[in-house]
Structure 1
Amino acid sequence: MSTDYQRAREDLGRRLRELRVESPDGRLTGVQLAQRLGWQQSKISKLENGRQTPTDADLRAWADATGQPAVFAELRGRLKGFESQIRSWRRQLSAGHRPVQETWNTLIRASRTLHMWENSTVCGMLQTADYARCVFEHYAELQRSPRDTEDAVRVRLQRQEWLYEPGKQLELLMWEGVLWAQVCPPSVLAAQLDRLLGVVGLDTVRLGIVPLDNGLRLPPANAFCVLDERLVIVEDWHAELWLDDAETIALYRRVWDTFAESAVFGTEAQQVIARVRRSLKV
């Protein structure tokens, strides 16, 4: 967790403690507030000490229980301010995968150029429906989120219309390990690799593959996307990081350029994909 994020969470915790202590009904102990809210006292402690991130509902309940409902807007503003950079999957997936995909579609539609690095799964911009379905099912199980797989697949595939719009450009690098990853049945993976072979010559796509036996100047690390040099989105197990400061964006572009030095493109990329495709027993 970033230092800035944790500091902001601790600041919010101190504000919550102030509201409890300065309640118009008189100073409340943590135990008394927990009883009013029907929570465990440990939750009160975690929130006040910056060891747990509150939800909007938590903040509204806290403001009401301390007799200061008008302060909810301030608390919510604080929360949104520091969550703008770290967007936990727990929160984002509380209503399923479809809302997350709709947010991505909005971002992509507003972008002209995408620089993407993928080291674990095929980029969503090029996924087949069956491959996307497998990925969503895996993550829904991991995150214990609502299952809205078919809606999520449909919205993700809508995003791919962007690839056929004039003036758009997808600069995509993938580690060869992505092509081998059995995140779906072999028949689904075979169709996905066929899809990749078919987009190599697309005008709006430049697909580079970093072969497993090519030297790397950096570890593969996390997948990320740079949108028009204005925003970087990095994926981790617990959250997406949305980073918009110029220095960080420039850093990720240097990372992308470094991986590109190890990549093969065009016919050579097709040969790598085809070699993996032939190895599948389907």
Structure 2
Amino acid sequence: MSTDFQHARLALGQRLRELRAEGGLTGRQLADRLCWTQSKVSKLETGRQTATHGDLKAWAEAVGQPHTAPELSARLRSFESGTRSWRRQLAAGHKPVQDTLTAEYERSTVMRAWENSLVVGMLQTADYARHVFSAYVDLHQSPRDIDEAVRARIQRQESLYRPGKQYHFIMWESALFARICPPTVMAAQLDRLSGVIGLDTVSLGIVPFGASLKLPPSNGFWIYDERLVIVEDWHAELWLDQPENVALYRRVWETLNASAAYGADAHRIITRARRALGTP
């Protein structure tokens, strides 16, 4: 749970508690009026549970202040938009998530990405992407729309060849060795990486294992122009649009990029990983 998210949830709980007190109700009385358990009322007021928009509407009506429902929902939306849980995002499968990301790609001109453990999505082959989506479907027990998600990801890659777009990718060398797919699939994926080196819309840097690092190579993230950062974690994505956060992640990207190898040096690192597979 991010600190910003938890602070926002605590603030919402404080506001709920104020409204209950203004309505002259105890926690037990409010729970009885709503047909909820008292523990639910307590958890919402202390920020230990995230309310739904329906919960907030019912609360506002139960304390005799229905006009506060829009304010409460606005508070909830403000921190929902920053932290997008995979449980909620994947309720309808991976394809809608891919469509949402495609809209951000279409809006953006210059995109920067850092990946520490996987090949960046925009450079994945269809077979590699299929194994990635399958792993996350199993993890999150989400609808199994793998083929639809793969098609959406591959279709988005058409923008790699669109004049006016610029993609700046850096990956840790570990992404070239992570065996999340069979060796033959990984071999084709590494060949794909070699093939994009020199593309005029793409710069691909690899941070070697032995490189001197000023920061640890942690979570993957994307920077869309200078307006949005999307950070991936196991439980959620963080969508950050505050200027100070965007600037922070830009500094992180530039720091990691200083350790990256490009051009012929990057090609040699990819070739080394390709030979390690032992496949034709």
TM-score scaled by structure 1? 0.89
Say yes or no: does 1:243 pair with 2:236: no
Letter in 2 for 1:8: A
Say yes or no: does 1:154 pair with 2:151: yes
Say yes or no: does 1:15 pair with 2:48: no
Can you list the C-alpha shifts for 1:7-31, whole angstroms capped at 9, x where unaligned?
22112112333444555xxx55544
Distance 2:142 2:37 in 1: 24
- What SS does the aligned partner of 2:270 have? helix
Of 161, 164, 168, the residue aligned with 1:164 is: 161
Partner of residue 277, structure 1: 274
Letter in 1 for 2:52: T
User: Structure 1 125/38 Cα, relative in aligned 2: closer, same or farther at 3 Å?
Assistant: farther
User: Structure 1 181/112 Cα, relative in aligned 2: closer, same or farther at 3 Å?
Assistant: same
Of 196, 207, 212, the residue aligned with 2:209 is: 212
Distance 2:65 2:145 in 1: 38
Q: How does 1:1-282 map to 2 (within 5 A)?
A: 1-21=1-21, 28-31=25-28, 33-34=30-31, 39-63=36-60, 70-282=67-279
CA RMSD in angstroms, aligned pairs only: 2.2
Greater CA deviation, 187-196 or 142-151?
Answer: 142-151
Distance 2:34 2:140 in 1: 26
How many residues are treated as equivalent by the alignment?
A: 279
Distance 2:16 2:94 in 1: 31
User: Structure 1 259/62 Cα, relative in aligned 2: closer, same or farther at 3 Å?
Assistant: same
Q: CA deviation at 1:64?
A: 5.4
User: Structure 1 69/109 Cα, relative in aligned 2: closer, same or farther at 3 Å?
Assistant: same
Distance 2:222 2:157 in 1: 15
Percent identical pairs in the alignment equals 62
User: Structure 1 155/4 Cα, relative in aligned 2: closer, same or farther at 3 Å?
Assistant: same
- What SS does the aligned partner of 2:219 have? coil
Q: CA deviation at 1:114?
A: 0.8
Distance 1:229 1:73 in 2: 31
User: Structure 1 19/137 Cα, relative in aligned 2: closer, same or farther at 3 Å?
Assistant: farther
Q: CA deviation at 1:233?
A: 1.5
Letter in 2 for 1:159: R
Letter in 1 for 2:8: A
User: Structure 1 154/69 Cα, relative in aligned 2: closer, same or farther at 3 Å?
Assistant: farther
Distance 1:196 1:35 in 2: 61
- What SS does the aligned partner of 1:115 have? strand
Q: CA deviation at 1:146?
A: 2.5
User: Structure 1 19/176 Cα, relative in aligned 2: closer, same or farther at 3 Å?
Assistant: same
- What SS does the aligned partner of 2:15 have? helix
User: Structure 1 60/152 Cα, relative in aligned 2: closer, same or farther at 3 Å?
Assistant: farther
Q: CA deviation at 1:209?
A: 0.5
User: Structure 1 54/94 Cα, relative in aligned 2: closer, same or farther at 3 Å?
Assistant: farther
Unaligned ranges ≥5, structure 1: none
TM-score scaled by structure 2? 0.89
Q: CA deviation at 1:86?
A: 2.0
